[in-house]
Amino acid sequence: MLAQSHRKDAFIEFIKSLLAAPFVLHMRDDAQRRLQHYGEVMDSLSQMIHEHRELAAREDPRGKRRVSRLARLVPEIGDFFTELDMRSALLEYNAAYGFAERSRVAPSFNDVRLVLNIAQLQAITPALRLMTFDGDCTLYEDGANFDRSDPLVGQMIQLLRFGIKVALVTAAGYPSAPEKYTERLAGLQQAMLDAPDLTDDQCRSLYVLGGECSYLFQFTGKADGCRLRELAREEFMTSEMLQWSDADIKALMDAAHACISSFVQRLNINATIIRKPRSVGMLPRKTRHDLDVGSGRRASRRVTAELLDELALELADLDTGPISLPYTAFNGGSDIWVDVGSKQIGVQLLQAYLSTLPEQTLHVGDQFLRIGNDFATRRACTTLWVTDPAETSHMLELLLSCRKSN
């Protein structure tokens, strides 16, 4: 249980357990009857979310926040920035995926994740003003570039046309090197230049926030070639962030670097450690394990997902002594990174810079486990948990069709 808890989402597991009862009790009934019972579970959930929000909003005169029914059942639960109509989301999901037709395969993690995505999307669409996206595995495949022909490119241009501010919020940190981000986003840049109706203001509504929250770039208007320009820190960072000293940042990175080096040595891992001003990473090298067989030397270890998780969790508990800077330690899928700051801070910086509220902001990402770097955005705004760019595109299709019909 403990060994797997970092790979589980408590709220999704809770909803799965609620849906398990009607699934078992109505296995032999028809799909319509199962749907009716699933719908009742969803109504109860909407009610619990409503109560949870009411209690969170209510000031207690003794300064003590009362615990909601939902928080008692799921102690890890966070804040909801909107009400959620879970029944409506379930019906939409069922229409697209034939969920209630199933009588042999029980409601799964992915079913619940997608129903929650649809509910969050339906709730936020009318008020949406800022949409932020993770990069790798959310907009494009891991390490790939954004292609002009990708349907997501057209959908993001459409968001800009609707007057929504759009930002890529990524761990990738290329300080003072906007050309590296431009290279990855060349398809998007070209699509902006090719869209005759897109105004300069709309082009300038597209941002890239790198290193979680450390570097902010803004696209320029068409006359300027829709290039990325870097904003000065003073323009977008809070006064608190501006006070983070270089010495503290260096000490934090030193501590993370030492932890990674010790792990690599202790476990005999063949890896490259990359050090940047505000991040440090561990990239396992591909090794030919068979080469070491019979040579008398101990072969370096294979780096499994579990070993990467182990290091990410060790780094999350880093002893930083008197330094209290926020940082993110995460498993990027095939590597480990420690960055100063977090995507929560990143999204909140954008909200302040663009005068946008949490209930008008939506973040889309694929790393919502405790060991992922999108997880932190849950404290800043409504979120969608996707598994790949195709799912992101499907979510945008739903959003854009809701927006058009309004």
Residue 284's beta-bridge partner residues? 271
Residue 165's beta-bridge partner residues? 130
Q: Which of 9, 134, 150, 309 is catalytic?
A: 134
Please state, as a whole number, how many other Cβ atoms lie within 10 Å of the Cβ of residue 334.
12
Smallest separation, CB 169 to Mg ion (Å): 10
Cα dihedral 240, 246, 252, 258 in deg (nearest 10): 170
Count of residues that interact with Mg ion, criterion CB under 5 A: 4
Smallest separation, CB 101 to Mg ion (Å): 32
In which element (H, E) is residue 201 found?
helix 200-203
In the complex with Mg ion, the residue whose CB is nearer, 6 or 204, is 6
Clarify whether 246 is annotated catalytic. no
85 near Mg ion, judged by CB under 5 A = no
In the complex with Mg ion, the residue whose CB is nearer, 114 or 171, is 171
In the complex with Mg ion, the residue whose CB is nearer, 140 or 217, is 140
In the complex with Mg ion, the residue whose CB is nearer, 192 or 209, is 209
In the complex with Mg ion, the residue whose CB is nearer, 137 or 395, is 137
Q: How many helices (H) and strands (E) does the chain have?
A: 15, 11
C-alpha angle 382/386/392, rounded to 5°? 90
Smallest separation, CB 170 to Mg ion (Å): 8
Piece in contact with Mg ion (CB under 5 A), picked from 54-62, 363-371, 382-390, 398-406: 363-371
In the complex with Mg ion, the residue whose CB is nearer, 116 or 139, is 139
Q: Which of 9, 85, 111, 136 is catalytic?
A: 136
Let me know: does 383 contact 120? Beta carbons within 8 Å.
Answer: yes
Instruction: Pick the closest to residue 386 from 89, 128, 92, 135 (CA basis).
Output: 135
Q: Site map for Mg ion, 317-356, x if CB under 5 A?
A: ----------------------------------------
Q: Which long-range contacts (CB under 8 A, 24 or more apart) does 202-208 make?
A: 202/160, 202/161, 202/163, 203/160, 205/160, 205/163, 205/164, 205/165, 205/166, 206/156, 206/160, 206/165, 206/166, 206/167, 207/165, 207/166, 207/167, 207/168, 207/350, 208/167, 208/168, 208/170, 208/178, 208/181
Contacts to Mg ion from residues 116-145, by CB under 5 A: 134, 136-137
C-alpha angle 398/11/345, rounded to 5°? 75
Smallest separation, CB 373 to Mg ion (Å): 8
Smallest separation, CB 353 to Mg ion (Å): 23
In the complex with Mg ion, the residue whose CB is nearer, 107 or 372, is 372
Q: Which long-range contacts (CB under 8 A, 24 or more apart) does 23-29 make?
A: 23/106, 23/107, 24/106, 27/103, 27/104, 28/103
Smallest separation, CB 296 to Mg ion (Å): 41
168: left (phi over 0), alpha (psi -120 to 50) or beta: beta
* 171: amino acid identity, one letter: A
Let me know: does 229 contact 217? Beta carbons within 8 Å.
Answer: yes
Smallest separation, CB 333 to Mg ion (Å): 8
Clarify whether 134 is annotated catalytic. yes
Piece in contact with Mg ion (CB under 5 A), picked from 4-12, 32-40, 67-75, 364-372: 364-372
366 near Mg ion, judged by CB under 5 A = yes
391 near Mg ion, judged by CB under 5 A = no
By CB under 5 A, name the binding residues for Mg ion. 134, 136-137, 366
Among all residues, which ones are annotated catalytic? 134, 136
